[in-house]
Structure 1
């Protein structure tokens, strides 16, 4: 019966987390009701709002096991419940209690209740992720599929920073390639036929199956039965990777559940809020940082001969060239010396040129690069509409000339001052990984993704990982 213990621990943890969420939602509703009472002097909303708010959260499945700790989807369901609450209050007003004051108070309480509920959920999610990071075994996960696909998924799970799923072992459809998995520090535990014994022996809580020709419908069905008998989750990885959950939807057709992949949302109308946010926020930051930036420019000029700003041609959306601004961090003859340092390139596997401890970097420049302060003048490019706050790395013209047709998809959006490449390691990333992140951003863009990247940028800059 030992193999039952991890799922039992998981269920206890999930029950505890749901209780915390219920308490948090009750607190959010009570706090919002108190604010409304303070403004309008009525107590009726304090009796009605908390249970109504929790009913709305239940109706929109914000306590489902599948969204606990996931972030965006969890927040989206809270917002849907908040939007539905005024409609629910209006229905109650029309059918039961014709109290215009109570209807007004319920509508006014929605915004503070949503803000408090989201803030508390964010705090609980951060605590949950820290717990996952500290846990030695997290949620033991068995990966099933071909060695190449499993290796890619292991890299994704390790890169996420919040290891809810931790690879405890692998059952391969091609066991002859087990050495490729062992090099990653994950045990290869046999083939698909060994799955039942492995789940039982390791106390697996989740089975993830990747696409493979050997895994036809009958094999997948048997694996799902095994998972059900063992009381563990059964997950199917899609054939297409780097597709956000928001773009995927199940469409049943004649009893067959087909997965629809929505096209990338790149129309000008959908990106108008991003344009407004980019330019207004960049302009506000320029005004706020004007004096510090002038002082930085003066220090750059005093530290080494040459201009304070470095100007370089970069390629923007649709291949348009523009002049990008940065604080100068290198000697004025740095471009002439590049050929002499080609053998030191840390990104020899791709088109980027990066050298650790580059001798061309000035004393002040080293600090500016490590802290990313050198990129602040790019706010000018954002105000001009040439760049965005969030987007792919702005490439050089000679890099773009070497792009394949697939990589050119990076040019469908404006380059960014920050992006997935920056919050995921910056210069330490291999070229293929940087391209994968940029293409994933282009295909899965949303305002929520932009805000998430902006929130993660601060910690990435403080860590300074890959900044050289």
Structure 2
């Protein structure tokens, strides 16, 4: 039975809490333990398949021996035993690295990064031990096992994550969150968490300073369970297992500490949600000073090494892309040329790195006089409230072939030549038109600190369905928190979005 967020007016927050408790679902609370157990079993099966599969592929089904030199004597150990020891050590290393911790599963890249780092660490230790003890272990056995093991572990975790996210969108396998703080901060966080149910946080109630009886958070159906002194009762009523403190401005000095003391160890958790947003983990450092936890947020910086690495990846990837996709590029060029009058390519002035203009290439997807027809269409968009970014779901200027190319982002492929030329990057903020830049607020110009990209965070987060404010926020978040791993994740998500574009591509 779905959770009923509605409440009946009552004389006190406690009465309201009891009412909600009577309708709250009492599902199993050990989903974290069950999911961790499933991951453990899957990891074990993957490693058994990889390690013993590699052994059989390298040595065959015979009883190959591992030689250990010791005081001019050689001790031989069967590779069947060696493989078992490697599997146990690998599983132990994954556990030590907390790769199955419920705080990282299901969202973000930390789960994948921990798997890769811990696996590389294990094989590094094995190599050092083999060198120091003169163990003659087959290099090919290790060289094949390591990349295959990492790849299959990551793939299995990705499959489980898809399953987990699907369940979380239905309200299952999620932390039940009670928000505590000012009404403004609670409202903001509640909306963000409801917008992304796959993140694993399901808001079931809130405690605000006013403690309005029988009220709900503005714009949502989340009930207010009382004031900030009713947290303990609200936890019991909503069966929440997580308290998220969204602001401390209106809380007594020791209130957060008191809330943490009242939580049940191991089952209930405290989360502090600062007002700062769109800052990636590597830029945040917690440093205790005089018993006070201080959050240090490092300023974004782009070293010469980072810029060189990004440019090198751009050159290699775009060159390979042009080479591999050349038959498709030729087919698309012929389709554009034969389906409508006009040139194959559409050249347009865009604004790039440091606010400089450049010519961006695309396959022509519109009629030749598309620019002449723009003004009346743009007026319709301005009348609908969009003052900066022009986008139209059923643009009458798009040709039939162009509509197909736009849906699957095929019209963007010529921008690989822009990347080779250095005016664009594979991943980056959306390249704006000069007329759009004229409407920019001052902070939006931070988009020009990096090269614009063929794809970006905005494109894999909703594309045309995003509002202007959301597009700007995502682009600035990318600029502030760039990393090579983040680029690889965006490219992977772009490939998936291109193959299954949904309703956001037009």
* 2:345 corresponding residue in structure 1: 309
What secondary structure does 1:228 align onto? Answer: coil
- Separation in 1 of the partners of 2:428 and 2:357? 16
List alignment gaps of at least 5 residues for structure 2: 1-17, 66-78
How far off is 1:313 after superposition?
A: 0.5
SS at structure 1 position matched to 2:366: coil
Number of the residue aligned with 2:13:
none
Partner of 2:3: none
Q: Secondary structure at the match of 1:306?
A: coil
Q: Give the match for residue 415 of structure 2.
A: 378
Query: Hey, which bits of structure 1, 4+ residues long, moved more than 6 A?
Result: 5-8, 176-180
Say which is worse superposed, 121-130 or 185-194, in terms of deviation.
185-194
Which of 7, 10, 17 is the aligned partner of 2:29? 10
Contact 1:140 1:204 in 2 (8 A): yes
Deviations 1:371-413 (A, max 9, x none): 2222121122122121122111101122223323311111111
User: TM-score, normalized by length of structure 1?
Assistant: 0.89
Distance in 2 (CA, whole Å) between partners of 1:440 and 1:174 is 34
Match of 1:59 among 92, 96, 99: 96
Match of 2:434 in 1: 397
Name the SS of the counterpart of 1:357 in structure 2: coil
Structure 1: state its 5+ residue gaps: none
Query: Which deviates the most, 345-354 or 448-457?
Result: 345-354
Deviation string 1:97-130 (CA, Å, 9 cap, x unpaired) is: 6522278855763333222222222222222222
Could you report, residue by residue, the CA deviation over 1:51-85 in whole angstroms, capped at 9, with x for unpaired residues?
11122122222233322333411122212211221
Match of 1:355 in 2: 392
Equivalence for 2:320: 284
2:268 matches 1:250: no
The within-5 A match list for 1:166-181 is 166-173=202-209, 181=217
Match of 1:447 among 484, 487, 501: 484
Q: Is the 8 A contact 1:329 1:361 kept in 2?
A: yes
**Pair 180,334 (structure 1): closer, same or farther in 2 beyond 3 Å:** farther
Q: Verify: 1:427 aligned to 2:464, yes or no.
A: yes
2:143 is aligned with 1:125 = no
SS of the equivalent of 1:70 reads coil
C-alpha distance after superposition, 1:177-215 (max 9, x if no partner): 998834233333343233222221111122111124103
Question: C-alpha distance in 1, partners of 2:342/2:34?
Answer: 61
Q: Which residue of 1 aligns with 2:234?
A: 198
CA-CA distance at 1:136 after TM superposition: 5.6
Choose which of 99, 110, 121 in structure 1 pairs with 2:135.
99
Q: What is the correspondence of 1:70-109 to structure 2 with a 5 Å cutoff?
A: 70-90=107-127, 92-93=129-130, 98-101=134-137, 105=141, 109=145
**1:89–1:103 Cα contact (<8 Å) kept:** no
Alpha-carbon distance in structure 1 between the residues aligned to 2:409 and 2:224: 41
* Aligned counterpart, 1:233: 269
2:224 is matched with: 188
Equivalenced residues, count: 465
Q: Which moved more, 1:149-158 or 1:433-442?
A: 149-158
Q: Helix, strand or coil: the match of 1:333?
A: coil
TM-score by structure 2 length? 0.83
